[in-house]
A and B are shown apart, each in its own frame.
Chain A
Amino acid sequence: MIALRVRQDAPPVEPIVAVRRSAPTHGGPMRRLTMEKVMAQTLAADEVLRGPHVLEYPYRRSLGPVLGRFFGGLQEHRLLGIRMRSGKVLVPPQEYDPQTGEALEEFVDVGPGGEIVSWSWVSKPRPKQPLDRPFAFALIRLDGADTTLLHAVDAGEESKLSVGARVTPRWAEEPGGGILDIACFELEG
């Protein structure tokens, strides 16, 4: 693995297409290459340019009437499900009954507490994940719901988690629109 060294004298990145391209950097100290060497393509491995390349799409997704209510509810610290024809409650809510295809419209308040149905420990969180310290991704069945919601649980350490453990939402300080208006769930008590 060649260590990445970012040129300090490079001008600000000025990408020209829909992807971000940073200025390529060098594996080692800057060398002056002659055009003869470039043209002859006799580059040593550490003379091949490399650098960070970030691809990012800021998608804005349309929610529709049902998920729109769900995400609107989060901003009021409310959790909404929707009742299926069978009487069961879907969380997050869906527009159509997955069993019969009928349009659904009976919203139901659920939670805010719930229980962990399944979980997976994340020991090294990645930059865009909900928490910057080790946490669990968990399937959470909120009280009153018949399906599970995927979210992060801030439990501190893995040994505190178990199937059936009670959790409750920690709301975001500033709602921004989205599932992270629930900052995460935390263990009750």
Chain B
Amino acid sequence: MSDLPNALKSIVTPVRLEYDHSAGAAATGFLRGLTQKKILGARTGPGEPVLVPPRGADPRTSELAAELVEVSDKGTVVTYSIVRVPSDNIPFELPYVCATVLLDGANLGFFHVLQNCALDEVRIGMRVQAHWAPDDQLTENVSSIRYFEPIDEPDVPFEQIEEYA
């Protein structure tokens, strides 16, 4: 056949799933805490690892993690990634940094966006703090923490955060 149509290079084939999501008791506590600028984790008992955001159970033992604990809104970058791919639901200017932040008092990294930080300055061990939404915009949503940003504190040596990096 000589008169073939022009070939399309690609098509868009979206996948969309709509859930009615129940946060469950543990995450509800965490989300309620955000409305009061508190970051809550959960643990199975005193001296046990603090999971942030809280899970209903300790993933290692499946033991109920019923004790909520407030942790700091300051923490340490334990790993990060630079995002250069646009997405229509991301309100940050590209490129930006996503980081896992080990909050002071927590034993699990907390995933969020880093702002006010040059790309070539972000590093493992860097100290950061949550930048909260204005008081009248605090909701039961993780975006009540708008982002994390660097603070003027000395880096944490890698050896101290190695197991979280």
A-side interface residues toward B, CB under 8 Å? 4, 7, 10-11, 13-18, 20-21, 23-24, 33, 35, 38-39, 41, 43, 47-63, 65, 68-69, 71-73, 75-76, 78, 80, 106-109, 128, 177-178
Contacts and interface: CB of A to CB of B under 8 A. Distances in A.
B63 to A, nearest CB: 15
Interface string B11-55: 111111111111111111101110010101000000000000000
Contact of B23 (A14, A50, A76): A50
19 contacts: A13-B143, A16-B142, A24-B21, A38-B33, A39-B40, A48-B22, A48-B23, A50-B20, A51-B23, A52-B19, A54-B18, A57-B15, A58-B12, A69-B5, A72-B7, A73-B4, A76-B5, A107-B4, A108-B1
Interface residues of B, number: 52
Given A33-B32, A41-B29, A57-B14, A73 B5 contact: yes
A43 B25 contact: yes
Contacts, number: 162
Contacts of B113: 16
A58 B88 CA distance: 10
B16 A80 contact: no
A161 B87 CA distance: 43
Contacts of A18: 87, 89-90
A23 B141 contact: yes
